[in-house]
Amino acid sequence: MDLLLATSRLERIAILAPAIVIGGGLVLGVLILMGRAFAESVREFGHPRLLLAGAVGLVAVVVVLTWLGVELPKE
């Protein structure tokens, strides 16, 4: 029984491996593309320090609200 279960797992992994590799590649490609677009936008923005300060401020607000336990209302 254990051998059959192990074989089943190995077969499942072997079958899903190409889908996982292709899916991971697609996700990585999109992240690279979005990162390059963001970097280009930052370069073209007139005040990059203001943009960076806004991003840091947004992260700080999220961290503080999470630390305080604030939750969004659920509908």
Tens digits of residue pLDDT in 24-40: 999 999 999 999 998 88
Q: What does the pLDDT read at residue 43? A: 84
Kindly state the tokens that stand for 27.
């996700």
Q: What does the pLDDT read at residue 1? A: 52
Alpha carbon 31 to its chain's center: 8
**Structural domain includes residue 8:** yes
Tokens 């203001």 locate to 50
Domain of residue 54 covers 2-68
The number of folded domains in the chain is 1
CB 56 within 8 A of CB 62: no
Kindly state the tokens that stand for 18.
């190409």
**Structural domain includes residue 75:** no
Kindly state the tokens that stand for 75.
């509908």
pLDDT(54) > 60: yes
**Structural domain includes residue 29:** yes
Q: What does the pLDDT read at residue 32? A: 98
**Structural domain includes residue 74:** no
